[in-house]
Structure 1
Amino acid sequence: MSNEQLTSVLEMSGEERYDYFLSQVLEDREVWILINSENRFLSIVSDDDGLAHLPVWPSSEFAVEYAKGSDDLTPKSLSLPDFFRKWVPGLSKDGLQVGVFPGTDQTLWITEADELKKDLQAELSSF
């Protein structure tokens, strides 16, 4: 993906990035997260309301772009079946929401893990 394409997608609105995320994840059958050197995944807690979320991306390029400036974060791929089977129940149990595809404008589509799974499954059924 060229830098221009990357920038173009990152500058989309939160809703447009959410739709892009759904289509790319269904095409590639994987979700991307960031992990640190201790293999712990990045979670972010909002200063406003203390809400914690797991940021996710549709490809490694976007996760790498987000992690620029951090020496300790690297992208990790989660297969869609693993995301559905292991991560969604774990995130729900831990009270973590999902921050879908952060962009350059700092907006973010935050949703429950179960809701994201339902949206992905609905897209899968029409894919």
Structure 2
Amino acid sequence: MDGEGRYDYFLNEVLEEREVWILVNADNRFLKIVSEEDGVAYLPVWPSEAFAAGYAKGSDDLSPKSISMPDFFRKWVPGLTRDGLEVGVFPGVDDTLWITGAEELKRDLQDDMSSF
């Protein structure tokens, strides 16, 4: 799937499972990536533990961690917005990625929730 296809898949899965997956290191610090091309800093998120673990394969220090959708909305979205971090939705091994603002992702999830 391309970045847009993975974004749609991400929305559907997150609405069904009610959680977002990130990667954290041994100190419980979340993975943040800064794009070499344009310097955009983002938090990569996945729709399931399996996809997050697959992305971290080969890294000894990263492990998947779930964030409930209410916690993501209440704590993470304001924090990411305050810190100027974007959200990289469902990065794949092919390096294509859908980058969006935290508030925009929240809005998309809430819009899809109302029609779920």
Q: Does the pair score TM above 0.5? A: yes
Q: CA deviation at 1:90?
A: 0.1
1:30 aligned onto 2:19 = yes
How many residue pairs align between the two structures?
Answer: 116
Inter-partner Cα distance in structure 2 for 1:50 and 1:24: 29
Residue-by-residue CA offset, 1:66-124 (whole Å, 9 max, x unaligned): 00010000000000000000000000000000000011221000000000000000000
TM-score calculated relative to the size of structure 2:
0.99
The root-mean-square deviation of aligned C-alpha atoms, in Å, is 0.5
Structure 2, unaligned runs of 5 or more: none
* Residue equivalent to 2:48: 59
User: Which contiguous aligned blocks of 4+ residues in structure 1 show a shift greater than 4 angstroms?
Assistant: none
Structure 1, unaligned runs of 5 or more: 1-11
| Percentage of matched positions with identical amino acids | 73
* Residue equivalent to 1:74: 63
- Counterpart of 1:94 (choices 70, 83, 89) is 83
TM-score calculated relative to the size of structure 1:
0.90
